[in-house]
Structure 1
Amino acid sequence: MRAVIAVLICVAAAHAALWGVLERKETAPDFRGLLPSVSYAPFEGSAHPDVDNIPTVEKIRDDLRKLSKLTKAIRLYSSTGGVELVPPIANEFGLKVTVGAWLDKNVDRNEREIAAAVDLAKHNPNVIGIVVGNETLYRDDLKIDELIEYVQRVKRQVNLPVTTGEIWSIWRDEPKLSSSVDFIAAHILPYWNNIPAHAAVDYAMTISKLLRDNFPGKRVVVAEFGWPSQGYNLQLAEPGPFEQASILRDFVTRAESIGLDYNIVEAIDQPWKFFEGGVGPYWGVLNASREPKFSWTGAIVDPDYWKIASIAVLIGILMSLPIFRLVQPTIPQTFVLTVAANGVGAWFATVFAYWNTHYFVFGSALALTLGMILLVPLVLIAMARIEEIATVAFGRRPQRLIDKPLPAPADGKFPKVSIHIPAYFEPPEMLKQTLDAVARLDYPNFECVVIINNTPDPTFWQPIQDHCRTLGERFIFINAEKVIGFKAGALRIAMARTAPDAEIIGIIDADYVVTPNWLKDLVPAFSDPHVGLVQAPQDHRDGNQSLMHYAMNGEYAGFFDIGMVQRNEQNAIIVHGTMCLIRRAAMDMAGGWAGDTICEDTDLGLAIIERGWTTHYTNTRYGFGLLPDTYEAFRKQRHRWAYGGFQIVKKHWRRFLPGASLLSPAQKREFTLGWLNWLGAESIGVVVAILNLIWVPVVSFADIAIPDKILTLPIIASFVVSLVHFVALYRLRVKIKLGQLLGAMIAAMSVQWTVSRAVANGLITEHLPFARTSKGGLSRMSVEFQAFWEAVIGALLLVGAAVLVAFNVKEVREIYIFAGVLVLQSLPFLSAVGIAILENSRANQFGFWKQSAIRAAELIGLRREAMPMVTAPARVSTDTAPNA
């Protein structure tokens, strides 16, 4: 345990040190004076001024009191809606004011703005100028002659300098405009011109010089200069708090040195400017709480950096504590788990920092909240998978696994086993093979109860009845019609016909051929009176039937060689309805076979565990069945398992409450994480994919609410963890070749939609009918394409990714990441499409690939084509026998 503590401390220290190494510090020229002017809007919150955002006198006074310590003057953009209160209050603090008149296509409003601006100029001695319109030509709200007419009207009514505010290129391109104003008020915003942060100030100085050169004798004012502190990149322009601080300090220092008139945009962040894209709310030198965002002197640092770092390290330590519940964890195992925990801590701290430094309207807050609700279980699932990787790769070898035959009972007594084989419309020849294998069991004390249920056609049950008679009195045949409760109902009937002295019940499916040593090797485990159940894995004997079957068999093997082995360590295995041995007393205590779920085997197994019985698992193959005939059957089987699993969650969750059962905390954790890992991961994956699809047009065409990397990168990380988990554990535990591993991965991904649909069915329905898995070659392949909806969703995800990239003219990195997420999310859906197509193609047959390889080798000269042998015709002798 000391080693574990040492590793935890070392990783936490390294985590803290990494934050120290990555801490960003920038240098910039100091500025200790007052700014000549800043843009000010007295609005706060996320409501647009035109909706309901009227400022109060008290709020304006508080703002201007703070701004008087930062600037000599303020620039306004309108003169109504509460802004008319600003000039007289500014005068209280000695602040000069440049009044603004907002102009747009609303003529009545324009008239009100002009009248209010003129009135403010006449009645407030601290007003030093009027800006008529702001980027009105750039927005194409007015024609140039219309704008000039408004400017001239104002000039005729006041004795102050009058101008209009426009981006610098309009001043350059419209000389008629410059001649109509008293001074040039140019907006130079390098961010919107895609200028990198390091070149922003040089760019502004170059443009201001260009304007001075183009308009000699005319006063040139940089009426807007600034840089956003948050938001998305615009091609090479990167917003950020360090960039804002460095750029503004550099610009102000250089502007002061050459006597350049300027106004900084803006004084205070404006959260209501979300319509200007991701950067709209973040141009202020003060945040929305009216606090400075950076210092004008000294090194530029993040004042909250070490608070965030402390949160990250603390969460990392807290999430590392579950390591102490592990039994004798190794140092490498502890290291991997602790690093993962600290990584999650860093992510949570980053999310907290994002929440603390961004403003949210209802839509963005909802998106972030919903995203976090969906991501938290994904992160927990990823953590559980990392723990399994660490345990399998670096932890102790399994301690409870039955990996060799158990010794025979010392007293030489073999408890009686009653083997139950339920069958429903099963091919008779297949079932005969199963019965023959049971007859060959090397065990002295067993019986076999075969129950054919709800199968009135005698061609299915008559041969089995005859075969049971041939095999002898050990084999009991039951043909039951109108059985209620599906497979569980049939097994209840079998229990009623079981020999009274049978202590152990064995369950096998109708297609399973068991090995002779099945009972001999495993029944001795019941010598321990606490053992209630022993489970052996499923395996299949037709994995080479086709490429699809080959992939499916590999996919099944992972569950039995990885998941079941690990769950067995906590006495928390999942019982599946074949190759299992159950103590009769444990079954009776658990209430026997219940018919209220369609996964009666798993339901019974959990009920046995809840009552304190010990279970054991072996990964030795003692039986070989048949794979589902078709991809449709494979999907139906997975749907049944998932739907039944969800039924079991609804049925048993109360047993997981404190004191409600004999489940240990470790068992509760295994079952909970198992359900979350299977049912939750697949369902959440589909929900997130569909939500992302819905969000594509918003991102592409509305230019707002782009998912930030705190939401998209965890999805990518979860996918990578899942990929590593699958590949690494298969390579360590499952004895299959690399090609089959790839096929197993595709098969596993292909049922994501199926599982999520089953969970949805479980949410809205109580009982679906039991769906038999077609085996033995009796089922016909459906004429319907088996992955229609997967094809639709997968195609939409790819189209969505293409649309995001095509319309990302601003080259926003988050959009590219978002597009990459959509591509990753399409893979499970496309996997289903691929298998559905493969099933109906020649490529599904191994012979096709063998012949293709031969032909390819022949074409490139690696293999010479065998020439046909020509047999010479037999020579007929022309000699004749000599005459006698």
Structure 2
Amino acid sequence: MRAVLVAALVAAVVHAAGWFVFAKNELPADVTGEISYLSYSPYAPGSDPKDREPVPVEQLKRDLGVIANVSRGVRTYSVIDGVDEVPALAAKMGLNVIVGAWIGDTEERDRHEMETVVALAKKNRNVRSVLVGNEVLLRGERTVDEMMAMIREVKKQVRVPVSTGEIWYQWLQYPELAKAVDYIAVHILPYWEGVAAEDAVSYTIAKIEELRKAFPGKRIVVAEFGWPSQGYNNLAAVPSATSQAKILRDFLVEAQRRGIEYNIVEAFDQVWKTNEGSVGAYWGMFDAHRNAKFSLTGPVADKNTLWKAIVAIVLGTGLTLLGLRTRQPNYGHAMMFALAGHGMAAGVALALAYPFENYLNIGIALTWAVGFVMVLLITVMTLGKVHELAEVLFGAKPRRLIGDTPALPLPASPPKVSIHVPAYREQPAMVIETLNSLAALDYPNFEAIIIVNNTPEAFYSAPVAARCRELGDRFKFLNITCSGFKAGALNVALQHTAADAEVIAVIDADYVVQPGWLKDLVPHFADPTVGLIQAPQDHRDGADSPLKRVMNAEYAGFFDIGMVQRNEDDAIIQHGTMCIVRRDALERLGGWSTETIVEDTELGLRLYEAGYQALYTNVRYGHGLLPDTFSAFKTQRFRWAYGAMQIIRKHWQHVTPTSRTLTPRQKFHFIAGWSLWLADALGALASMMNLLWVPMVLFVGVIIPTVAFTVPIMTAFAVNVLHCGLLYAKRVRMPLKEVPGAALAAMSLQLTVARAVFAGLVRDRLPFLRTDKGGNAKRGRENPAKWETVFGALLLASALVLELTNEDRITEMSLFAVTLAIQSLPFLAASAMMLIERFQKSQVCGAVQPAAVFGLESAADSMEPSR
């Protein structure tokens, strides 16, 4: 426990230091005196100019009262929706007004706006100037000649200066416009031009000087200057609350020093401004609820950093203590897990902060909720991988592993073992090879029961029956028809088991066992608490083809890494071959369950729930055959994943905190194991959701998934890569060059597992899916990776399109593109597996086979064995 506490403390300190180092604290110039003008659009949260609802006078009074505390004047942009009340109300608060007429919608509205601003300028002495239109030329809604005509018309009717608001380069592009106005009302917004925050003020001053040279003697007023506090970057321009505060304060001080006339955009955040991308709502010096974002004097810091840091550190410490509470890690193990826990906690805190730092509508809120749940699940699953990685790399050597412990002698009267070999439509030569290996066992007291189930064809059964007769009385042959698939056949075998048999061993019909299998393992049943002894699966055809090499490498990782670690906590998974079970325990539990298609794994869990322990060896006592095809490989994994969902539905109550049937460590491993199936389903679901989101980003302009939602996916991928590479190098007895193949095979199954998981969540009964081995697979025309290829291509193409269209180099878009590219890998891995299979067929069949590479088959390929 000491190592856990020390690691938790050190990681928390490192975590806190990270927040401190990366916290954005600024010390801009102090602003003395009042701001000249602030842009004012009175639409509060929940309202929108498009609604054409009059703004209540009381709201106008409250808003102008807030503005009057920091500014001498306001700039308006229109005179409809009650905004024409602003000059009179502002006068009572000592505020000057630059009144604006909105130009560009319709000629009728243009006329109304112009007539109203003229009337307001005549009626209110605090109206200091009139702006006819706002960026009309930039939007291309009126020609320069039309604008000059309207400006001249208003000038004739008022005694205050008249101009129009335009971007600085529009004034340079239309010098004739400068002659028509009383002063140049220029908009200089460095963010929209991709200028870095540290250069924003100097850039603005440079543009003012450029205009002064172009129009000597002309009065120049900066009618809009500002910086957003939130949103995506635009090239080098990165929005943030602290950058906004520093830029505005530095500009205000510089403008006062240089005598620059200005207006700051804007007073309040405008939630309705969705037409200006991610930053449109965040230009205010006050938020939408009329709270000041920063002070005009003193240091500036992000208000949310402190609480985010506290949440992240507390959560990271909690994850560390919770994840290691039942362990006894050394310092290396504890420190690695603690640092990972704090790192993931920081991501969770950033994701949690999103709704507190952004204005949400229903769609964005729903998207955030789904994304946040996924971040939590990814965090738990990633930490499970980190835990296993740390335990293997830094933890103690395995202590419970049979083979690493002293061998037990065979008792003088060894218990009788009944070996059960279920077979369904298996190639007879393969089954006979299995029988021959059983006959060669170096064990004095056993019987073998071969159960050919639901296989009426003599082609499959007759040679096997004949070989059993040749091998003598110890070999019993059963040719049966029963329900319950493999579990049903094994239950029938129990009925024919010798009365004096104390131990039941099960192997698949394709397994060739080593002579010492029973001699080495059965003695461990001398401990009456041992209910199960499991040996790993391995394969004798793993080097037969490129496809089988990668499949074999993938299997090996589970048996040499995951099972070894689970065994340390007495939490192994029983699988249906090379397993040995105490007979009275099996019968006490009612035999093999026919309610699930993974009767072996389900039995192992029931044995634990009944209080038995299990033992594991990673010694290869048997070698079977790999699936014949990639399609068969997928079928097998579908069965396992679907069966896991069945087990969850039937046994979830045993892993609840209040249950006493399993130990805390057993609960941890079974939950972690189930979560890996769910992780593939979650990964596929996240990929589909992101794929659907791409056109929304490209064509609708909705939000891009934030860093807090994309970085966890990339982190999980990086952890998976490290987990695979480092643990294979540490534990799996195979050349390192085989590791990429293992990773390829594992990734290729994501969509298959996802389909099984979702099927298991809604359906409780699916038929047993047989895995074709030993040449049983039929060659089909269908591409087994068709849908994976489609989804992988769409994800990769979407990533490329996003990156190529990211002209503003938005960081979030680039990260989203990288995320999509990463998410395409499991789907494309399935395509690669299919291509490997097709390539090896072409190598075997020579000139005939190129057709098969493209999904065709020859007449010879379609022939089945004679029956």
TM range (shorter): over 0.9
Note if 1:557 corresponds to 2:556: yes
**Equivalent in the alignment of 2:509:** 510
Counterpart amino acid of 2:92? E
Q: Partner residue of 1:301?
A: 301
Answer whether contact 2:269 2:282 (CA < 8 A) is retained.
Answer: yes
Equivalent residue for 2:529?
530
Q: Give the secondary-structure state (helix, strand or coil) at the position aligned to 2:565.
A: helix
Counterpart for residue 577 of structure 2: 578
Which digits, 9 at most, give the CA deviation of each residue in 1:453-491, with x for residues without a partner? 11111121111111111111111111012x211111111
Q: Is the 8 A contact 2:4 2:321 kept in 1?
A: no
Equivalent residue number for residue 197 of structure 1? 197
Return the letter of the residue paired with 1:189. L
Change (3 A) 1:675 1:15: same
Paired with 2:441 and 2:66, the residues of 1 have a C-alpha distance of: 90
Hey, what does 1:363 align to over in structure 2? 363
For 1:590, the equivalent position in structure 2 comes to: 589
Is 1:600 matched with 2:599? yes
Counterparts of 1:50 and 1:614, CA distance in 2: 70
Deviation string 1:502-538 (CA, Å, 9 cap, x unpaired) is 2211110000111111111111221111111111110
- 2:827 is aligned to 829
Hey, what does 1:812 align to over in structure 2? Answer: 810
Separation (CA, whole Å) in 2 of partners of 1:415 and 1:805: 67
Q: Once the two structures are superposed, what CA deviation does each residue of 1:225-250 show, in whole Å capped at 9, x if it has no partner?
A: 11112211211222222322222122
Q: Shift of the alpha carbon at 1:129?
A: 2.1
2:326/2:665 contact within 8 Å kept: no
Kept in 1, the 8 Å contact 2:324–2:334? The answer is: no
Q: CA separation of 1:47/1:731 partners in 2, compared to 1, >3 Å: closer, same or farther?
A: farther
Which is worse superposed, 294-303 or 220-229?
294-303
1:71-96 deviation digits (Å, cap 9, x = unpaired): 00000111112323333332232111
Match of 1:609 in 2: 608
1:699 equivalent in structure 2: 697
Aligned residue number for residue 126 of structure 1: 126
**SS of residue in 2 equivalent to 1:277:** helix
Q: Distance in 1 between matches of 2:404 and 2:347?
A: 45
Instruction: Verify the 8 A CA contact 1:547 1:845 in the aligned structure 2.
Output: no
Give the AA of the match of 1:737.
P
Q: Which residue pairs with 1:463 in the alignment?
A: 463
Alpha-carbon distance between aligned partners in 2 of 1:134 and 1:749, rounded to the nearest angstrom: 55
Question: Which residue identity is paired with 2:615?
Answer: H
Give the match for residue 857 of structure 2: none
- Alignment deviations for residues 774-815 of structure 1 (CA, whole Å, 9 cap, x no partner): 111232332222211111111111111111122111121221
Could you list the per-position Cα deviations for residues 828-880 of structure 1 after superposition, in whole angstroms to 9, with x for gaps in the alignment? 111111111111214987999xxxxxxxxxxxxxxxxxxxxxxxxxxxxxxxx
Shift of 1:408: 4.8
User: Partners of 1:612 and 1:432 in 2: how far apart?
Assistant: 38
Counterpart residue number, 2:494: 495
In structure 2, the residue matched to 1:636 is 635
600 and 202 in structure 1: CA distance in 2 versus 1, 3 angstrom threshold: same
Matched-pair contact (CA < 8 Å) for 1:611–1:661: no
Tell me which residue corresponds to 2:139: 139
- More divergent stretch after superposition (391-400 vs 174-183): 174-183
Equivalences for residues 63-82 of structure 1 within 5 A: 63-82=63-82
User: What amino acid is the match of 1:578?
Assistant: T
Q: How far has the Cα of 1:116 moved from its partner? A: 3.6
- Closer/same/farther in 2, CA of residues 608 and 115 from structure 1, 3 Å limit: farther
- CA deviations on 1:346-385 (whole Å, 9 max, x unpaired) are 2223234443222223332222221111221111111110
Mean Cα deviation higher: 191-200 or 733-742? 191-200
Deviates more, 1:323-332 or 1:164-173: 323-332
Q: TM-score, normalised by structure 1?
A: 0.92
2:8 is matched with 8
TM superposition shift of 1:163: 1.9
Alpha-carbon distance in structure 2 between the residues aligned to 1:80 and 1:250? 34
- Of residues 297-306 and 139-148 in structure 1, the stretch that sits farther from structure 2 once superposed is 297-306
Q: Report what 2:566 is aligned to.
A: 567
Unpaired runs of 5+ residues, structure 2, are 847-867
Asked whether the 8 Å contact 1:405–1:522 carries over to 2, the reply is: no
Q: Distance in 1 between matches of 2:342 and 2:584?
A: 47
Taking structure 2 as the reference length, the TM-score comes to: 0.94
1:560 partner SS: helix
How many aligned residue pairs are there? Answer: 846
Q: What corresponds to 1:105 in structure 2?
A: 105
Q: Following TM superposition, by how much is the alpha carbon of 1:404 offset from its aligned partner in structure 2, in angstroms? A: 4.7
Contact 1:706 1:815 in 2 (8 A): yes
8 Å CA contact 1:538–1:623 kept in 2: the answer is: yes
The equivalent of 1:882 in structure 2 is none
Alignment of 1:429-444 (within 5 A): 429-444=429-444
Work out whether residues 26 and 299 of structure 2, in 8 Å CA contact, stay in contact via their aligned partners in 1: yes
Task: State whether residues 693 and 796 of structure 1, in contact with CA within 8 Å, keep that contact through their aligned partners in structure 2.
Answer: yes
The amino acid that maps onto 1:337 is: F
- SS, match of residue 818 in structure 1: helix
- Of residues 461-470 and 228-237 in structure 1, the stretch that sits farther from structure 2 once superposed is 228-237
Matched AA of 1:400: R
Please give the root-mean-square deviation of Cα atoms over the aligned residues, in Å.
Answer: 2.1
Mapping of 1:231-380 within 5 angstroms? 231-322=231-322, 324-380=324-380
Secondary structure at 1:586's aligned position in 2? helix
Rounded to whole Å, the distance in 1 between the matches of 2:374 and 2:657 is 27
Q: Deviations over 1:646-689 (max 9, x none)?
A: 22222222333455561222222211111112x11111111111
Letter in 2 for 1:575: Q
Is the 8 Å Cα contact of residues 561 and 733 (structure 1) preserved in structure 2?
yes
- State how far apart, in whole Å, the 2-side matches of 1:447 and 1:168 are: 94
1:373-772 equivalences in 2 (<5 Å): 373-404=373-404, 407-408=407-408, 412-481=412-481, 483-657=482-656, 659=658, 662-677=661-676, 679-772=677-770
**Cα offset for 1:691?**
1.4
Quote the residue 1:25 is aligned against: 25
Q: Equivalent residue of 1:272, what SS? A: coil
Alpha carbons of structure 1 residues 398 and 46: separation in structure 2 relative to 1, 3 Å: farther
Change (3 A) 1:96 1:405: closer
Deviation of 1:324 after TM superposition, in Å, equals 4.6
Contact 1:101 1:113 in 2 (8 A): yes
In 2 relative to 1, CA 18–196 (structure 1 residues): closer, same or farther, beyond 3 Å?
Answer: closer
Displacement after TM superposition at 1:46 (Å) = 5.5
Q: 1:613 to 1:290 in 2, by over 3 A?
A: same
1:703-752 deviation per Cα after TM superposition (whole angstroms, max 9, x unaligned)? 33122211111111110001001111111110111221111111111111
Question: Match of 2:764, SS?
Answer: coil
In structure 2, C-alpha distance between the alignment counterparts of 1:363 and 1:141, rounded to whole Å? 31
Q: CA deviation at 1:409?
A: 6.3
Say if 1:670 and 1:372 are closer, same or farther in 2 by CA, change over 3 A.
same
- Deviation per CA, 1:194-218: give whole Å up to 9, x if none: 2222222222112212223333343
Amino acid at match of 1:348: V
Cα distance in 2 for residues equivalent to 1:571 and 1:469: 40
Q: Where does residue 55 of structure 1 map in the other structure? A: 55
What residue ranges of structure 1 are gaps of 5+ in the alignment? 849-884
The aligned counterpart of 1:181 is: 181
Counterpart amino acid of residue 713 in structure 2: I
Structure 1 position 797 matched with structure 2 position 762: no
Query: Residue 441 of structure 2 aligns to a residue in which SS?
Result: coil
Letter matched to residue 242 of structure 2: F
Question: Does the aligned pair in 2 maintain the 1:163–1:181 contact within 8 Å?
Answer: yes
2:855 aligned partner:
none
**How far, CA to CA, are the matches of 1:603 and 1:108 in structure 2?**
77
Structure 2: distance between partners of 1:846 and 1:813? 49
Shift of 1:54: 4.8
Q: d(CA) in 2 for partners of 1:491 and 1:623?
A: 20
Q: Contact conserved, 1:80 with 1:116, CA < 8 A, in 2?
A: no
The equivalent of 2:837 in structure 1 is 839
* Preserved CA contact (<8 Å) 1:629 1:779: yes
Q: Please identify, of 558-567 and 195-204, the stretch whose mean Cα deviation from structure 2 is larger.
A: 195-204
